[in-house]
């Protein structure tokens, strides 16, 4: 009896190990690859033969996709000028315009389609009010620790936005 229990336990352990080992590079990309905390590397908009960087050459920001279907996106120019008054509610017209042009944030829920490698975001709230209450479909690809999102509906209008992100090595909770 003890030998049977030992053999059964060994077989189950081997099966569990085989099933839980990560798949190699040849594995198919899945929606779970999107889940995580991603640091912004670049954002550019392609308009014909023009390539525009609306958040500058070194944007700052994050994309967060959790396993329950919630997301949050923030992007800002790294060179945003500070408000002289040190009070966001008393910024000048020029300071406010620079802040609006140089940043975006939105959040809500998302669903994915593995068939066409797309993510559809249902935006609940946004610093750009026209995004709030909308549903937008984007294509995505994950290659190792790099996520690329193609957005045909960028907030600046016209063109197609490409967002390049790198998976964070630690999440805020781990810091």
**pLDDT interval class at 171 (50, 70, 90):** low
Residue 5 clears pLDDT 90, i.e. is over it: no
**pLDDT score, position 97:** 95
| Contacts of 160 by beta carbon, 8 Å cutoff, 6+ apart | 45, 46, 150, 151, 152, 154
DSSP 55-91: T-SS-EEEEEE-TTSEEEEEEE-TTPPPPTTS-GGG-
Least reliable range by pLDDT among 12-16, 115-119, 125-129, 141-145:
12-16
Q: Answer whether residue 41 is part of any domain.
A: no
Range of the domain at 88: 50-169
**pLDDT score, position 174:** 55
**pLDDT score, position 154:** 87
pTM score of the predicted model: 0.78
Residue 25 clears pLDDT 60, i.e. is over it: no
**pLDDT score, position 140:** 96
**pLDDT interval class at 173 (50, 70, 90):** low
Q: Answer whether residue 22 is part of any domain.
A: no
Q: Answer whether residue 153 is part of any domain.
A: yes
Q: Answer whether residue 84 is part of any domain.
A: yes
**Cα–Cα dist 164/150, whole Å:** 9
Q: Answer whether residue 3 is part of any domain.
A: no
Structure confidence by residue, pLDDT tens digits, 63-119: 999 999 999 999 999 999 999 999 999 999 999 999 999 999 999 999 999 999 999
| Contacts of 15 by beta carbon, 8 Å cutoff, 6+ apart | none
Helices of type H across 21-61: none
**pLDDT interval class at 172 (50, 70, 90):** low
Q: Take residue 93 and report the two structure tokens written for it.
A: 């017209």
| pLDDT-above-70 percentage for the chain | 79
Q: Assess contact for 97 and 90: CB atoms under 8 A.
A: no
Q: What is the CATH number of the domain that holds 71?
A: 2.40.128
Q: Take residue 72 and report the two structure tokens written for it.
A: 């949050």
Q: Answer whether residue 106 is part of any domain.
A: yes
Residue 43 three-state SS: strand
**pLDDT interval class at 153 (50, 70, 90):** confident
Q: Answer whether residue 82 is part of any domain.
A: yes
**pLDDT score, position 55:** 94
DSSP 97-164: HHHHHTEEEEEEEEEEETTTTEEEEEEEEESSGGGTT-EEEEEEEEETTEEEEEESS-TT-SSEEEEE
Using alpha carbons only, give the angle 133, 40, 43 rounded to the nearest 5 degrees. 75
Region 39-59 average pLDDT: 94
Region 153-161 average pLDDT: 86
Q: Which residue, among 76, 139, 136, 81, has the nearest Cα to 103 in the 3D structure?
A: 76
**Cα–Cα dist 27/4, whole Å:** 35
| Number of compact structural domains in the chain | 1
Q: Answer whether residue 42 is part of any domain.
A: no
């Amino acid at each position: 009896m003890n030998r049977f229990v030992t053999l059964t336990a060994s077989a189950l352990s081997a099966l569990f190990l085989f099933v839980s080992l990560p798949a190699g590079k040849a594995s198919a990309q899945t929606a779970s690859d999107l889940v995580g905390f991603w640091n912004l590397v670049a954002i550019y908009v392609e308009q014909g033969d023009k390539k525009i960087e609306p958040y500058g050459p070194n944007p700052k920001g994050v994309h967060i996709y959790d396993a329950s279907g919630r997301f949050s996106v923030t992007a800002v120019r790294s060179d945003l000028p500070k408000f002289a008054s040190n009070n966001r509610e008393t910024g000048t017209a020029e300071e406010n315009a620079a802040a609006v042009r140089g940043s975006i944030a939105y959040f809500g829920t998302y669903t994915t389609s593995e068939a066409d490698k797309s993510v559809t975001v249902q935006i609940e709230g946004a610093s750009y009010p026209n995004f709030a209450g909308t549903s937008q479909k984007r294509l995505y690809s994950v290659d190792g620790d790099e996520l690329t999102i193609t957005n045909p509906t960028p907030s600046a209008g016209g063109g197609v936005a490409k967002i390049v992100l790198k998976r964070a090595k630690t999440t805020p909770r781990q810091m």
